[in-house]
Structure 1
Amino acid sequence: MTSHLDPRQILRRQLRQTRRNLSSQEQQSAALQLSSRFEEYADHFHLTSGNRVALYLTNDGEISPHVLCADFWEQGIETYLPVVQGKHLTFARYSSETVWQENIFGIKEPVTMDYVSGEVLDLVLLPLVGFDSKGGRLGMGGGFYDRTFANKKTTEKPRLIGLAHDCQEVKSLPVEGWDVPLEAIITPTKTLFI
């Protein structure tokens, strides 16, 4: 029987399973290491009080930015979460008082009518399913980040940074024409500037 899945879909399934297989202890350790790795390059990202950073709530074994989020809150950096609106993302303020609802994918989103567009953000930390050393990236396949930032020029805000577990690195990924390039990819043990 022949599979009707393209190679990217097959790889996506394999990598998602790999990250789901990480224990809760491995996940927590990775989140702490990710925060330390980010701190090493904090000066490069020029984040200060009042800056706006989007991150995400973990789903499906993604590396968690929760330690980074706590650090941002301590520094007075505003944090935002993606909210699915049609085929694009908008972003809603995230705080300890955020009220939740589930979106069409079963992922929690803030309940608010006060959304901002991606252009007003300074930095966007986005989850990856897979990546390679040349900056190739593989997402969940919905294209939400790509559509949301399709018209972004490389030198414009926001800076796009991918986050992943080390086990999600592959030898090579094809770059598609619609893939919005990232500035960097950060894992618990490495930072790749692209």
Structure 2
Amino acid sequence: MDIAAEKKRLRALALGRRAAMGEAGRAAASRAAASHALAAAGAVQGRAVALFAPFRDEIDTAPLADALREAGAILALPVIIARDQPLLFRRWDQDTPLVPTGAFRIPEPGPEAPEIIPELLLVPLAAFDRRGFRIGYGAGFYDRTLALLRAQRPVRAIGFAFACQEVDQVPVETHDEPVDMMVTDIEAWAVGPRA
């Protein structure tokens, strides 16, 4: 099997389903997923939690950000340093100005925001399977970041997406880092231990 071609096919399939939800459907599903994610995260008081700024029609993290702040979490957002580097995370307080950055103009905190090493990461994705493997958007940022963080200390990664983005099986390459848990608008579940 040509893994790259199969990932491309599955990515297009899942993203097509996501787009077909429509704006109102995505908004309602994002609120439902936030409720599941808050329960799955457990006690977050004083813990560093990394979210992501949604891109195009990704699941909206704003409802979850509000709930996490209310629960006392310290929030962070990813910052792209360079194409082949892991992400770094900067603190994201409610009044932190976000600057659209990079080719895709994804909002991120500026260099004045302190760097944070998260204990819990909400990971964006295009497609996922029940084993916790995900297909991102092709640049490998989260695979590199998770590999680095996991080599340094325990960290929990939660895939955060709409249920319609699930596929039967994601083809796996050696560099692919699975998530520890998946949260959708329908349910949350822990995945098996990594091999």
| TM-score, scaled relative to structure 2 | 0.86
The question of whether the paired residues in 2 share the 8 Å contact of 1:16 and 1:60 is answered with: no
What amino acid maps onto 2:132 in structure 1? G
What amino acid maps onto 2:23 in structure 1? S
Matching of residues 44-193 of structure 1 within 5 Å: 45-48=42-45, 50-86=46-82, 87-104=85-102, 105-116=104-115, 120-153=117-150, 156-193=153-190
The whole-number CA distance in structure 1 between the counterparts of 2:113 and 2:93 is 13
Q: RMSD in angstroms over aligned alpha carbons? A: 2.0
* Structure with higher RCO (Cα < 8 A, 6+ apart): 2
Distance change (3 Å), C-alpha of 1:176 and 1:190: same
| TM-score, scaled relative to structure 1 | 0.86
1:28 matched residue in structure 2: 27
* Aligned-residue offset at 1:22: 2.0
The whole-number CA distance in structure 2 between the counterparts of 1:35 and 1:13 is 25
SS of 1:71's partner is: helix
Aligned residues: 185
Identity %: 31
* Aligned-residue offset at 1:88: 2.1
* Aligned-residue offset at 1:115: 4.3
The whole-number CA distance in structure 1 between the counterparts of 2:75 and 2:123 is 13
Structure 1 residues not aligned, in runs of 5+: none
Structure 2 residues not aligned, in runs of 5+: none
